[in-house]
Structure 1
C-alpha cells in the first residue's frame, strides 16, 4: 500500500514545485496557514485521484498485486499523510520567511485535519461512484451559490467564518474537542468503508 501512496507523490513531483512556489507567495502576502494547508491538501488528493482515471489507469492498478480495498485505503491514508506534509512545509516556510517563532498549536492541527477529513469524506465516495469531472461541476455550482450568497444575502459571510474559526481556537473545553474529533473519525471511517464497497462493485 505504501507504494500506492508513493505513486501519487511521484506522479505529481513536478507539480510539487508549483505548489511550493505558490505556498511561499501566499505566505508572503499573509494568507493564513490554515487556509493554505487545507486547500493544497484537497487539491493534491483530487489531482491524485484524477490521475487514476486517465488512460485506463484503474485497469492497470487492478492488474497489480493489490486488492481493491488496498487501492481505496491508500487514498484515505495518503490524504492524511499529504496533509501532514503540506502542514510541515507551510509552517517551515512561514518560519523561514516571516521569522515567526511558531510552535504549531494542537488546536490548529486538529482544525486542519478535521476540515480535510470532513471534505475528503464526501469527495471520495462521490468520485468513486461517478467521476471527478462531475465533482468539478458540483464544486463550480457550489462556488456559484457561494458567490450569490455573499453578494446578495450574507455579505459578511467570510467574516463570520473567520469568527467561527477564531472561536474554535479559543475554546478551552477538552471534552468538546474529543467529541468532535471522534465524530469526524467515525465519519471518515464510514466514508472509507463506503468507498471500498463502491469500488469493489465497479467493473473495469
Structure 2
C-alpha cells in the first residue's frame, strides 16, 4: 500500500515543481494563513484524482496485486500524509518570509481540508469521469468564498449553540472538533470503500 501512496508523487513530479511557487504566491498576496494551509493541503491529493480521472487509472490499479480496500486506504492515508508534508513546507515558507501564523491557523486549515476531502472523495467513485474535477473545483471555490459568511450567519441564528460552545474550554473545543472531523473522515472512507467495491471497470 505504501507504493500506492508513493505513486502519487512519482506521477506528479512536474506539478510538484510549481507547488512552492504556488504557495509563495498566496503568501506574498497576504492571503489568510488558514486558506493558504487549506490550498497547500489540497494540492497533491486532488491533482492525483484529476490525473487518474483523465488517465482512467482505476483500470490499471485493479489489474495490480492490490485489493480494492487497499486502493481506497492508500487514497485516504495518502491524503493525510501529504497534508502533513504540505503544512510543514508551508509553515517553513511562512517562517522564511517573516509572515505570522498560529497553531490555530494550521488546525483550521487541516480540519477544513479533511472535511472537504471527506465530502468530495466519494464523488470520484459516484460521478462519471469528466465531470468530477469540475464539480470538486466549484465546490472548493464555494467553500472558500461562501463558507465563512454562511458560518457566521448560522452562528448568529443559533446563538444558544454558539454561546454553549464559546463557554467551553479551548482544550474541549479542540478535542471535540478533532474527534468529529476524524469520525466524518472515517465515515467517508467507509462510504468510498463500499462504493468502490461495487464499481465495474
Q: TM-score range by the shorter chain?
A: 0.7 to 0.9
Cα separation, 1, equivalents of 2:82 and 2:26: 19
What are the superposed Cα offsets for residues 142-188 of structure 1, whole Å, 9 maximum, x if unpaired?
A: 58978xx97xxxxx939959x99xxx9xx842112212211111111
Q: Unmatched 5+ residue regions in structure 2?
A: 157-164
Q: Which residue of 1 aligns with 2:14?
A: 14
Count of equivalent residues: 188
CA contact (8 A) 1:68 1:196 kept: yes
Distance change in 2, residues 1:124/1:145 (3 Å): closer
Equivalent residue runs for 1:83-94 within 5 Å: 83-94=83-94
CA contact (8 A) 2:50 2:133 kept: no
What are the superposed Cα offsets for residues 67-107 of structure 1, whole Å, 9 maximum, x if unpaired?
A: 1111111111111111111111111111112275x6x52x3
Distance change in 2, residues 1:181/1:159 (3 Å): closer
Q: What is the alpha-carbon root mean square deviation over aligned residues? A: 3.1
Equivalent residue runs for 1:109-124 within 5 Å: 109-124=106-121
Q: Which residue of 1 aligns with 2:77?
A: 77
Partner SS, residue 63 of structure 1: coil
CA contact (8 A) 2:118 2:185 kept: yes
Q: CA deviation at 1:26?
A: 2.0
TM-score by length of 1: 0.78
Cα separation, 1, equivalents of 2:136 and 2:53: 18
Q: Unmatched 5+ residue regions in structure 1?
A: 151-155
CA contact (8 A) 1:125 1:194 kept: yes
Q: CA deviation at 1:139?
A: 4.7
What are the superposed Cα offsets for residues 108-144 of structure 1, whole Å, 9 maximum, x if unpaired?
A: 3322221111111110111111146333443566589
Q: Which residue of 1 aligns with 2:149?
A: 157
Structure 1 range deviating more: 125-134 or 182-191 = 125-134
Distance change in 2, residues 1:54/1:183 (3 Å): same
Q: Which residue of 2 aligns with 1:95?
A: 95
Q: Which residue of 2 aligns with 1:30?
A: 30
Structure 1 range deviating more: 129-138 or 5-14 = 129-138
